[in-house]
Amino acid sequence: MADHEHKPIPPAFPPVTRRGMLFRLGVGLNLVAASVVGIPLIGYISSALIGRKAKQAWIPLGNLDRFPRGQTRLATYRNPFTTPWDGLVADIPCWVRRMTDGAFQVFAINCAHLGCPVRWFPQSGLFMCPCHGGVYYEDGSVASGPPPRGLYEYEYRLRKGHLEVRGGQTPNLSEPV
Amino acid sequence: MGRMRDISRSVGSWFDDRLQVSRLYAATAGHTIPSRSASWWYVLGSATLVCFVLQVVTGICLSLTYVPAPDQAYQSLEYLNYTVSFGWFLRALHDWGSQFMIALITLHMIQVFLFGAYKYPRELTWIVGCVLFFCTLIMAFTGQVLRFDQDAYWALQIVMSIIGRFPLGAELLYLVQGGPILGSETLSRFYSLHVFVVPGLIIALLTVHLRLVLTRGINEYPVPGEGVDPETYEEDYEDLLKKTGIRFFPDGADKDVIFSSLVITGILCCAAIFGPNGPNGPADPTLIHTTPRPDFYFLSMFAAFALMPPYMESFVIVYVLPVAIVLLFLVPFISNKGEKHPSRRPGSVILTVMVMMTLVVLAIQGLSSPWSPHMNAWSAVPVQPEFVKGRTPLELVGASILQEKQCRNCHSLAGAGGKRGPDLADVATRLTYDQLVRQVLQGGGNMPAYGKHLEPPEVSALVAFLRTLYPKHESAARNSAQPPVPR
């Protein structure tokens, strides 16, 4: 108890010394500097997000003669958004099904389950996935296995005897083609 | 000689006076540990650290040659394998070092859990250790991505699909992928993670982990009946140190040193005998005839995703996995005191055995992945002679339809072929003629419907063949309301 009485009561507002003032000013200036540095850093890292919606373009898949009626063929396109050092990974395959002269279905190669490449088997009219055994019918709907939806389908149009699809990004469950 | 010794001693003590090395030693490597903690069970942490140092050294060497760009990554690995002196061996060392490190950190974690070492006052040591464990797994995955071969490309594609299932998945995906497709910016991001971000994090966390071992002491070797009481633990531990304390280095480190040298020898031998891992085929998305398989530490997860019912997948990814990870972190707060010895904690032992058994069984399943169609079975695995001997022409046509329509990709015949569907060698004992026709035409029970792709005569031939598939001393299934279908 005696100890307690001898202790000086700390003042509610300690006197501001010149040193303390300068230190606080310095900390404040550094916080300002850090946030100014942070703007370009965050902007740089998230630059992929900015302008994300614009990553769609019409891509030519080739002459209509390449896709016989009643058949499903593999087609490859160069992704329109690439860097010069992308190499082979910007060559994206897709499955083109031609039902009638003007009616097509263009499917993404990626299984709707976890993105593995599906393969077409014309004899049984099925797409099969080698990873977890997802199987789709020729129209892309789920036949069996774990996929939560049918194959992702590209929008397409016919221009001057050429087939064009609208794409540019790998499809996923949050953002189909 | 005596003079020389005096001179070197005074030079040594001059440096020690300026650098204070002996004080540093006393506070770190020379700290006291209970003598019974210098056990063979306590060598796993230091061995993991030795692996990490090896990974840093070999990793720096590999980065001298490796090019983190999709158009040249593969070539630079081939160059390492075949042109640079010892390049193949360094790649092998780095690969085997990672496998050993994952095995050791897992064993270390199991040992710490079973010995109750996470209890008061070492909660933070456990939490930091868990973060280190996940950092190590991230290193393993990002390292596999840098190999940038077919497996790496598709493993990455799978992870991107998983990210796409999260809320805000599309935005998250763009951040991780660095663009609309998996490409150069993705590889650069994973390179940066693998060589700067995560190793930096590991070094920082390791410092905290080791600091905690110094401030709170190494766990004493558990004794049944001697539990942790937070009230008295500090005093008891001090007592133990006073009675049985030895210096960690060199007195208590004998087994650590021996074990670490064995680990390094093991890594060297494996690297020399088995060589580097891949690269297996360039990452070319247009080569779709690929069967992606993850490295062994992710096989269990790969298998779990194939085996769980599809409707719960997204739920498991988004909710169950994060909750499980949080629970792992909270272990020391769930049981903070009491018995440490595994013989007094049967629940923990059972839990460990169950978790490890689940992971191992899933990994073994992942290796053979029976849920995947055997993509080449229809053309590469013929119907065995015993199934076609003495069959009618119609039945033989049926056998060839079974082959031609890729039925064998999912169905095996006496073990040969895909394992996704049931074996057909005795299908006639299970299904009648009508049931077989219905199953073929309409599918169901995870089988596609073949109605659109088979002409009626083909169905008759196929089912006629399937009706012949029953064991010698068993008869085919019959519908009691109808006369038996003649064979």
Query: What pLDDT, on a 0 to 100 scale, did the predictor assign at position A77?
Result: 94
Q: Which of B161, B178, B285 sits opposite A89 (nearest CB)?
A: B285
Say whether pLDDT at B21 is over 50: yes
Separation of alpha carbons B264 and B283, rounded Å: 32
Average pLDDT of chain B to the nearest whole number: 93
What chain A holds in terms of domains, given with CATH numbers, is: 2-47 (no CATH), 54-167 (2.102.10.10)
Residue A106: helix, strand or coil by DSSP? strand
Separation of alpha carbons B121 and B445, rounded Å: 54
Q: Which of A118, A145, A172 sits opposite B169 (nearest CB)?
A: A172
Which residues of A, range 118-157, sit inside 8 Å of B by Cβ? 118-119, 121, 123-126, 128-133, 135, 137-138, 143-148
A131 contacts in chain B (CB < 8 Å): 154, 158, 291-292, 302, 306, 372
The interface predicted TM-score of the complex, written ipTM, equals 0.87
A110 to A59, A97, B447: CA distances (angstroms): 18, 16, 21
Record: contact A90-B406, CB cut-off 8 A: no
- Residues B212, B122: contact at Cβ < 8 Å? yes
Give the confidence band of A176 by pLDDT, cuts at 50, 70, 90: confident
Which residues of A, range 4-33, sit inside 8 Å of B by Cβ? none
Say whether pLDDT at A4 is over 60: no
Which of A9-23, B57-71, B83-97 is least confident?
A9-23
Record: contact B185-A83, CB cut-off 8 A: yes
Query: What pLDDT, on a 0 to 100 scale, did the predictor assign at position B472?
Result: 85
Record: contact B182-A170, CB cut-off 8 A: yes
Position with higher pLDDT, B265 vs B452:
B265
What are the tokens at B449?
A: 């419907």
- Say how far residue B444 (Cα) sits from the centre of its chain: 34
Record: contact B182-A128, CB cut-off 8 A: no
Best interface-test mutation with A: which of B75, B186, B404, B453 has the largest number of A CBs within 10 A? B453
pLDDT, tens digit (0-9, with 9 covering 90-100), for A119-165: 999 999 999 998 888 999 999 999 988 899 999 999 999 998 899 99
Say whether pLDDT at B63 is over 90: yes
Separation of alpha carbons B405 and B41, rounded Å: 57
Q: Which residues, other chains included, contact B316 with Cβ-Cβ below 8 Å and sequence gap of 6+? A: B304, B308
A39 to A27, A33, A45: CA distances (angstroms): 19, 10, 10
What chain B holds in terms of domains, given with CATH numbers, is: 30-368 (1.20.810.10), 377-466 (1.10.760.10)
Chain B nearest C-alpha distance from A17 (Å): 36
Mean pLDDT of B83-95: 97
Chain B nearest C-alpha distance from A8 (Å): 33
Query: What pLDDT, on a 0 to 100 scale, did the predictor assign at position B481?
Result: 76
Record: contact A88-B175, CB cut-off 8 A: no
Long-range CB contacts (within 8 A, 24+) of B252-257: B252/B33, B252/B35, B252/B37, B252/B38, B253/B29, B253/B38, B253/B46, B254/B38, B255/B38, B255/B39, B255/B40, B255/B42, B255/B43, B256/B42, B256/B43, B256/B46, B256/B47
A90 touches chain B (CB under 8 A): yes
Best interface-test mutation with A: which of B174, B291, B314 has the largest number of A CBs within 10 A? B174
Record: contact A173-B314, CB cut-off 8 A: yes
What are the tokens at B259?
A: 């074990």
pLDDT, tens digit (0-9, with 9 covering 90-100), for A21-73: 999 999 999 999 999 999 999 999 888 887 676 678 999 999 999 999 999 99
B181 contacts in chain A (CB < 8 Å): 79, 81, 89-90, 92, 168-170
Separation of alpha carbons B227 and B222, rounded Å: 8
Give the confidence band of B1 by pLDDT, cuts at 50, 70, 90: low
> DSSP letters along B397-447, please?
HHHHHHHHTTGGGT-EETTEE--SS---TTGGGT--HHHHHHHHHH--SS-
pLDDT, tens digit (0-9, with 9 covering 90-100), for B383-396: 999 999 999 999 99
Residue A118: helix, strand or coil by DSSP? coil
Record: contact A91-B285, CB cut-off 8 A: yes
Residue B36: helix, strand or coil by DSSP? helix
Best interface-test mutation with A: which of B76, B156, B184 has the largest number of A CBs within 10 A? B184
Neighbours of A23 (CB within 10 A): 11
With residue B360 as reference, give the H or E element that holds it. helix B346-368
Give the confidence band of B486 by pLDDT, cuts at 50, 70, 90: low
Say whether pLDDT at A1 is over 50: no
Say whether pLDDT at B477 is over 90: no
Cβ contacts from A onto B, under 8 A? 204
Q: Search chain B and give the residue with CA nearest A42.
A: B175
Q: Which residues, other chains included, contact B222 with Cβ-Cβ below 8 Å and sequence gap of 6+? A: B115, B116, B339, B340, B341, B342
Position with higher pLDDT, A14 vs B44:
B44
Which residues of A, range 93-112, sit inside 8 Å of B by Cβ? 93, 109-110
Q: Which of B70, B173, B286 sits opposite A172 (nearest CB)?
A: B173
Record: contact B448-A49, CB cut-off 8 A: no
Q: Which of A91, A118, A175 sits opposite B170 (nearest CB)?
A: A175
Mean pLDDT of B85-109: 97
A169 contacts in chain B (CB < 8 Å): 180-181
Q: Which of B322, B338, B319 is nearest to B330 (CA)?
A: B322
Say whether pLDDT at B239 is over 70: yes
B409 contacts in chain A (CB < 8 Å): 121, 128
- Residues B377, A123: contact at Cβ < 8 Å? no
Say whether pLDDT at B170 is over 90: no
With residue A96 as reference, give the H or E element that holds it. strand A91-98
pLDDT, tens digit (0-9, with 9 covering 90-100), for B194-219: 999 999 999 999 999 999 999 999 99
Q: Which of A88, A93, A126 sits opposite B448 (nearest CB)?
A: A126
Handedness of CA B97, B102, B104, B108 (dihedral sign): positive
Record: contact A174-B168, CB cut-off 8 A: yes
Mean pLDDT of B268-287: 93
Separation of alpha carbons B341 and B36, rounded Å: 14
Give the confidence band of A13 by pLDDT, cuts at 50, 70, 90: confident
Long-range CB contacts (within 8 A, 24+) of B231-236: B233/B120, B233/B121, B234/B121
pLDDT, tens digit (0-9, with 9 covering 90-100), for A78-104: 999 889 999 999 999 999 999 998 899
